[in-house]
Amino acid sequence: MAQIGIIGGGNVGANTAFFLAERNLAHVCMYDVKDGLSTGKALDLMEAAPLRGYQYRVEGTDDIRQALDSQVLVIAAGEIRSPGEQREDLYERNATILDEVADRLAGYSGVIIVATEPVDPMTLRLVKHGFDPRRVIGIGGVLDSARLRALIARELGAAQEDVKATVIGRHSHDMIALPAYCSVAGVPVATLISGARFAELVEETRHAGDRIVELAQRTNSYYGPAAATTDVAEAVVHDTRRILSVSTVLTGQYGITDVAMSLPALIGAGGVERVLEPRLTDDELAQFAKSAASLKAHA
């Protein structure tokens, strides 16, 4: 039976465990460096199991080795942003945490999903620890695409599931929405929303995480990241070969290497099975290259 391990029992980790349980996807084992935290949250979740019909167990552990006995491992450990901070401001603090986690993952050969911010540099950093780049997946583009889908659905009063959107590049204010790859029930979004209004929705998407931090004050976004993580985990565990915009270390796409950014990719049991290259406009290509150069400069 498949098991999904979660490193980090905070809001993102615990809600990922919740969404995984709700989907009856696999056994879940959650670890946190703080003794008792993951065990207590897992106990709370399992007490809901009779009411929610969970088929698989959710357990917490103070021994990371139990979480490592998993086909998929979610990295959700790290500090969160304060109002006024950007994702990049977390890099130094969370890089230290990620390095400590990576040392404890030595020999792990499953698929690793990165939810720790900033997602793109953390994805690259983990690969630099020696993990197979095809098996290290950041959730940035999945989350950004979901946020844009929600805004398009709100704008049109349409059902969420009928809206498709593709966002690539950095999980930051530099994210790149691709209107040519956005649609509602197969109808191109450009025929339903003016270019100017679409640009406003994209700008709202860019700042969605900031807005949550500003409003909530003491917490970052976690339902969205947990849901994005769950979608990626499901694609791996069930080998669904879904196309998801995920952060992965590029190997020549658009002439770019050695940097992690989101592009649509076929996700299966082996992680990133294939990276797709959408047809970009000259402006989109320039934005993508500029983001890559910025990431390399701060690597």
- Does residue 42 sit in the same domain as residue 182? no
Domain of 7 in residue numbering reads as: 3-139
What is residue 79's predicted lDDT score, i.e. its pLDDT? 79
- Does residue 134 sit in the same domain as residue 51? yes
What is residue 1's predicted lDDT score, i.e. its pLDDT? 65
Task: Give the tens place of pLDDT for each residue, 102-146.
Answer: 999 999 999 999 999 999 999 999 999 999 999 999 999 999 999
CATH number, domain of 245, equals: 3.90.110.10
What is residue 86's predicted lDDT score, i.e. its pLDDT? 65
What is residue 299's predicted lDDT score, i.e. its pLDDT? 64
- Considering the candidates 27, 129, 171, 173, report the single residue annotated as catalytic: 171
- Does residue 172 sit in the same domain as residue 98? no
- Does residue 125 sit in the same domain as residue 270? no
User: Does residue 207 have an active-site annotation?
Assistant: no
Intervals of the chain under pLDDT 70: 1, 81-87, 218, 299
Q: In the chain, what's the furthest Cα-to-Cα distance?
A: 54
What is residue 91's predicted lDDT score, i.e. its pLDDT? 83
Q: How many domains does the chain have?
A: 2
The pTM assigned to this predicted structure is 0.95
CATH number, domain of 66, equals: 3.40.50.720
What is residue 31's predicted lDDT score, i.e. its pLDDT? 97
- Does residue 130 sit in the same domain as residue 112? yes
What is residue 218's predicted lDDT score, i.e. its pLDDT? 66
